[in-house]
Amino acid sequence: MKPPKLALSLFAALTLLAGGCSQQSSTDTATTTATKPAQPYEAVAAQGKGFTVGAVMSANTVYVLFDPQCPHCGHLWEASVPLLKKVKFVWIPVAIMGGKSTPQGAALLAAANPAELMAEHEKSVLAGTGGIAASANIPAELEQAIQKNTQLFNSLGVDSVPYILARNTRTGQVVTNNGALSTPALAEFLGLEQP
């Protein structure tokens, strides 16, 4: 007897929303033995290099460390879109999932309109087509930025992306989360009114 389609769909959705992509062994992944920063939110704000989308003038900044090859990051991207008028997101690319991560992250950082390119990229990743085409010929400063982002990610002691750091607007407390969230869960996590 086959399980009901609705039950399978619900199980798949819950698994996806609760998940994140973990580091894989890779020769191109930077590692670090640095100790965990005492103030991770401040460390990411000061050291992470990413692109900003959303309410640029917002006092509330949400940092998302993501790997361009991570489908869970794609789901978080989609969940964040309805909140862009309320909060500023800084998406910080890291390279923990393989050879395409650095070139795609560099393409996103260098884009004239990173939000548009990210939307195109994540749509492709979620469709299973691998994301945007990106040149393996990366400017040295962008490659170094992604390596430093990856070292920062590793220094935080987290093991999967997406990794979210924010200040909850209701409590003022720094909050962190590994994995994708739905839009309502993300709004709650950030202390925002439901969209």
CB contact at 8 A, 88 and 54 = yes
In degrees, rounded to 5, the angle at the alpha carbon of residue 61 between the alpha carbons of residues 44 and 33 is 10
Is 163 a domain residue?
Answer: yes
Supply the range of the domain harboring residue 77. 5-190
Q: Is the pLDDT of residue 79 over 90?
A: yes
pLDDT tens-digit profile of 104-150?
A: 999 999 999 999 999 999 999 999 999 999 998 999 999 999 999 99
DSSP, residue by residue, 111-158: -SSHHHHHHHHHHHHHTTS-S----S---HHHHHHHHHHHHHHHHTT-
Is 195 a domain residue?
Answer: no
- What tokens appear for 177 in the block? 């989360």
Read off the CATH number of the domain in which 126 is found: 3.40.30.10
pLDDT number for residue 35: 54
Is 24 a domain residue?
Answer: yes
- What tokens appear for 8 in the block? 């399978």
In this prediction, residues 76-104 reach a mean pLDDT of 96
What is the tally of structural domains in the chain? 1
Query: At 60, is the pLDDT very low, low, confident or very high (cuts 50, 70, 90)?
Result: confident
Is 22 a domain residue?
Answer: yes
pLDDT tens-digit profile of 10-57?
A: 333 433 444 667 665 333 333 333 456 769 999 999 999 999 999 999
Strand order in the sheet with 88-93: 51-54, 88-93, 61-66, 163-167, 174-178
Is 99 a domain residue?
Answer: yes
| Number of neighbours of residue 111 by Cβ within 10 angstroms | 16
